A and B are shown apart, each in its own frame.
Chain A
């Protein structure tokens, strides 16, 4: 080392001298293995990364891709709307609208200020104590109220209460209310049909919910459709055979009759003669399907199809028709009904009056029990039973409506002579009003009977011939004479129209015995007679007033119904008689 300037600084000395790092004093000799270890560790780390990459890419790809997708893909439920129900003219009878179910997480809701909860209770139309009771729960999910309408929901959302949320659902509305409810029925809160056509056509009305997968962006907008997983199918709309105008007329007639005659209940049905469609089916008491809180069984009961009664005198034309058809009698055959009493195997059959000697037409007009019993004695029971079966008595009707009753007709082999005699005038068998109305098809049409339908019929129905057109015409003439000043249904006359029909009165069976006090009055009619269009059947159950027979309670109700129905349907009048004559003491049929 050379020192030429002893006072110079170390830096200068260093720059002039040997480099710092090369100083042998400072030189550290590292062992070779350390670098090798380092190299190995680095390579091992890379290898680990490689293996990890392989693992992710190769072995668990599917799992990871699924996880990834679930972070941006969403499955949307596509709800299906329940089909509408419409009447034959396209008027809506039942329709679903979206509403919300309001639910809550109780713990979160209870943290909000009490005045907000008071306000919430007011909006939900429930007492605050009830609301608090619902919120006082350990559960994390509580329905506060279901089927809340959208405008109320908007107000609730404006309150901004934490822990309150809504879920989409549908509410069924029935604009025609109590008038139509026995035909249409109703659904429960889960959109499942409970009564009437809602129940009968549940499958086709309900539709199927669908779903689709989509990609949503940050703002929740759908940016890409990944295709439908399941296509939603809305429920099919249902067009009924019912005419809401006629239904209203029928309902009003029944309602007025029940109130006027102080009856327990009433029912009416209007059938289209040409197509077999049920144009109206009304019951009273009824209920409002939009508010079913105070629903009773009596209101729910569809008496027209579920109640059976003994057809009484209304079956007499059937007995006579079979006699005429089998040529055992003619319309002019005479029978002696005097003295108004008759004994069959020890039991006495009575008429209300002694009608003396009558033709077959006279027997129907006066509704003579003895007359029809004498006619029935010419006909073997088996033929009568076959006739009943062809007319659908004793068989559950199949017309796609829930709960029809079959009625009761015992096998003919078990009929004793007195029972057969009773059956000729409608005792000892039971039918529903709808079955009775349908069986009059053979008179209103030219002897054939067609199936009934609650759904609009577009093609001509195929009928089954029961009696000849000639017999049908003969019975029609007799039925028209019943609705005349001389007949038992003089109160069924309709001004301007020719109508025909038959009254009936049955004693109700209470505790297995005929009741002396409770009875049902009914009437089955055809209008207008020149070209039958409607079959109208009316029953008045247990009238408590002074008037109690079919001729005095059901016949005027049917006349009222027919007059309005014919006018509403624009049927031209076929009679110039506009002032009807009702005798002071109308003839009453025998029970």
Chain B
């Protein structure tokens, strides 16, 4: 009787040990994946900052005015040649 019990317990113990090994392995894998994704998120943050900067640099009022004046031949608006529409007035 006690021999049988010992055998069962031994098998249980081995199974337990193996699942632990497996769990450990899985957790490391997932952790590496997490680490990789976090790295990616940091890189994306940097890219986003870079793009924001580019947007701000390219959207500089100075540059827009320059292009509007020289390339598109635009002139500033004056109230003298503007028709204002008021909402709700017929």
On whether the two chains bind one another, the answer is: yes
Minimum CB–CB distance for A279 against chain B, Å: 14
B26 at the interface (CB under 8 A from A): no
Most buried by B among A84, A96, A98, A222: A222
- Please name all residues of chain B whose beta carbon is closer than 8 Å to the beta carbon of A224 when the two chains form the complex: 27-28, 31
* Contact with A95, one of B31, B53, B77, B80 (Cβ below 8 angstroms): B53
* Contact with A84, one of B49, B78, B84, B86 (Cβ below 8 angstroms): B49
Taking a contact as CB atoms under 8 Å apart, the answer to whether A245 and B61 are in contact is yes
- Please name all residues of chain A whose beta carbon is closer than 8 Å to the beta carbon of B55 when the two chains form the complex: 92
State the CA gap A575–B66 with chains docked (Å).
30
A413 at the interface (CB under 8 A from B): no
Taking a contact as CB atoms under 8 Å apart, the answer to whether B79 and A497 are in contact is yes
* Contact with B53, one of A97, A496, A573, A578 (Cβ below 8 angstroms): A97
* Contact with A175, one of B27, B60, B77 (Cβ below 8 angstroms): B60
- Please name all residues of chain A whose beta carbon is closer than 8 Å to the beta carbon of B59 when the two chains form the complex: 91
Taking a contact as CB atoms under 8 Å apart, the answer to whether A97 and B52 are in contact is no
A186 at the interface (CB under 8 A from B): no
Taking a contact as CB atoms under 8 Å apart, the answer to whether A175 and B46 are in contact is no
Which residues of B, 64-83, contact A by the 8 Å Cβ criterion? 76-80, 82
B22 at the interface (CB under 8 A from A): no
A471 at the interface (CB under 8 A from B): no
Taking a contact as CB atoms under 8 Å apart, the answer to whether A96 and B49 are in contact is yes
Minimum CB–CB distance for B76 against chain A, Å: 7
Taking a contact as CB atoms under 8 Å apart, the answer to whether B32 and A97 are in contact is no
Minimum CB–CB distance for B53 against chain A, Å: 5
Taking a contact as CB atoms under 8 Å apart, the answer to whether B56 and A496 are in contact is no
B41 at the interface (CB under 8 A from A): no
- Please name all residues of chain B whose beta carbon is closer than 8 Å to the beta carbon of A173 when the two chains form the complex: 53
Residue of B nearest to A214 (CB): B35
Residue of B nearest to A572 (CB): B84
- Please name all residues of chain B whose beta carbon is closer than 8 Å to the beta carbon of A84 when the two chains form the complex: 49, 52
- Please name all residues of chain A whose beta carbon is closer than 8 Å to the beta carbon of B53 when the two chains form the complex: 92, 95, 97, 173, 175
Contact with B along A88-110 (1 / 0, CB 8 A): 00011101111000000000000
State the CA gap A225–B49 with chains docked (Å).
28
Taking a contact as CB atoms under 8 Å apart, the answer to whether A179 and B50 are in contact is no
State the CA gap A98–B53 with chains docked (Å).
13
Residue of B nearest to A93 (CB): B56
Taking a contact as CB atoms under 8 Å apart, the answer to whether B46 and A98 are in contact is yes
Taking a contact as CB atoms under 8 Å apart, the answer to whether B61 and A244 are in contact is yes
State the CA gap A495–B57 with chains docked (Å).
32
Which residues of A, 75-97, contact B by the 8 Å Cβ criterion? 81, 84, 91-93, 95-97
Taking a contact as CB atoms under 8 Å apart, the answer to whether B61 and A248 are in contact is yes
- Please name all residues of chain A whose beta carbon is closer than 8 Å to the beta carbon of B80 when the two chains form the complex: 495-496, 578-579
The B contact surface, by secondary structure, is: helix
A330 at the interface (CB under 8 A from B): no
State the CA gap A103–B44 with chains docked (Å).
27
* Contact with A222, one of B31, B50, B60, B86 (Cβ below 8 angstroms): B31
Residue of A nearest to B34 (CB): A225
Residue of B nearest to A567 (CB): B77
Minimum CB–CB distance for B80 against chain A, Å: 4
Minimum CB–CB distance for B54 against chain A, Å: 8
A223 at the interface (CB under 8 A from B): yes
- Please name all residues of chain B whose beta carbon is closer than 8 Å to the beta carbon of A175 when the two chains form the complex: 53, 56-57, 60
A201 at the interface (CB under 8 A from B): no
A221 at the interface (CB under 8 A from B): yes
* Contact with A248, one of B32, B56, B62 (Cβ below 8 angstroms): B62
- Please name all residues of chain B whose beta carbon is closer than 8 Å to the beta carbon of A264 when the two chains form the complex: none
State the CA gap A245–B61 with chains docked (Å).
7
- Please name all residues of chain A whose beta carbon is closer than 8 Å to the beta carbon of B35 when the two chains form the complex: 221-222
* Contact with A97, one of B49, B56, B82 (Cβ below 8 angstroms): B49
* Contact with B79, one of A177, A221, A573 (Cβ below 8 angstroms): A573
Residue of A nearest to B35 (CB): A222
Contact with B along A175-198 (1 / 0, CB 8 A): 111010000000000000000000
State the CA gap A225–B45 with chains docked (Å).
22
A204 at the interface (CB under 8 A from B): no
**What would 12 A/B residue contacts be, using CB atoms closer than 8 Å?**
A84-B52, A175-B56, A175-B60, A177-B60, A221-B32, A221-B35, A223-B32, A248-B61, A495-B78, A578-B79, A578-B80, A579-B80
Which A residues are closer than 8 A to B by beta carbons?
A: 81, 84, 91-93, 95-98, 173, 175-177, 179, 221-225, 244-245, 248-249, 495-497, 564, 567, 572-573, 578-579
Known: A222-B32, A496-B79. 4 other contacts (CB 8 A): A179-B62, A223-B31, A244-B61, A248-B60
